[in-house]
Amino acid sequence: MPSLTRHALLPVLALAVVACSSSGASPSSGGSATPPPSAPAASPSPSAAPVGAIDHATGAKDVLLRYDVGGGLMMAGFSASQTPIFTLYGDGTVVFRNQMQPPMPQIGSVAPMTPLRTARLSEEQIQAVLEEALGQAGLGVARENYENPMIADAGSTTFTIDAGGVDKTVSIVALGGDTTGVPDALARANFQRLAEHLADFDVGGTVPTDVYAPAAYRAILMDGTGQVGAVAWPWTTLKPADFSFPADPNAFQLGTKTIGQADVDALALGAVPGGFQGMVVTGPDSKVYALALRPLLPDETV
């Protein structure tokens, strides 16, 4: 499989986002001439036929490649409100959060998350990304787990790949740290290059993309006892009992509820398409809660 560098991928990515932002443009033969919907409505059913050198499903909800980071000492509430950093879907839609962008300004105690971005890739560009992931980055032959005995309580990077006959999740503990004495240093270096590319997929914002507009959000409710600055409960039609909490009383009590844009607007925070953390509210039951918000991705249950 030929080598594919990040620089080699940029021209085809630029063509994709031009097609995404201009309805009259005509990208390469595998692309679409119209802007992609933020939440694609096409059937999630995978394609049974190969669509390129690396065969893959073609549904708008079929995850071909996903990059995410979590675990370690990350707080449960923080982790629950995070979206994957990058996802490529079968129809060519990419949804990603550029990790290189500066944080959003706080709104009181509320910390808005950087908005997700989206673009539509042609089949040629899908093939380039899959080739990089399976070939140069080594996901095609990678093990499912890469431990790091030198670091305790470190987070894990996960790559999910489903293309070219490969369907697996690869987890790497403490990716990007000091590899002195750590096994699989070469494989880790390849994984790190892929992570850096996907985390800066629009090249620091210099390649135009669109803000991802989710079809729905996941509201996350947890105990906020001891937190200050609580505001009044924002909803008249929702109450804490409407959130789904774990049945096990010993489990971390993290409640979730899928809500729409009208419920988000009721929070009076303005536009927060990337979600947020840190809102403190007093419930109708007089308890203090911490509220977070997470945009749902096309493959996630609405």
Contact by Cβ (8 Å): 3, 136? yes
- Arithmetic mean of pLDDT, 175-202: 92
Express each pLDDT in 116-155 by its tens digit. 999 999 999 999 999 999 999 999 999 999 998 877 677 8
At 75 the pLDDT is 57
- Arithmetic mean of pLDDT, 15-42: 37
At 76 the pLDDT is 55
- Arithmetic mean of pLDDT, 101-108: 88
Give the whole-angstrom CA distance, residue 220 versus residue 243: 8
Among 94-103, 117-126, 253-262, 289-298, which is the least confidently predicted range? Answer: 94-103
Where do the domains of the chain lie, and which CATH numbers do they carry? 6-210 (3.30.1560.10), 214-295 (no CATH)
Contact by Cβ (8 Å): 240, 52? no
Nearest alpha-carbon partner for 257 in 294, 299, 214, 213: 294
For the chain, report the end-to-end CA distance as a whole number of angstroms.
39
Give the whole-angstrom CA distance, residue 74 versus residue 43: 35
At 302 the pLDDT is 58
51 bridge partner residues: none
Is the pLDDT at 20 greater than 70? The verdict is no
At 41 the pLDDT is 37
DSSP-derived secondary structure letter, 110: B
Nearest alpha-carbon partner for 8 in 132, 154, 189: 132
Contact by Cβ (8 Å): 134, 164? yes
Is the pLDDT at 24 greater than 50? The verdict is no
User: Which position has the higher pLDDT, 157 or 43?
Assistant: 157
pLDDT band at 32 (very low <50, low <70, confident <90, very high): very low
Nearest alpha-carbon partner for 60 in 77, 48, 47, 74: 47
Contact by Cβ (8 Å): 63, 87? yes
* β-pair type (276-282, 288-295): antiparallel
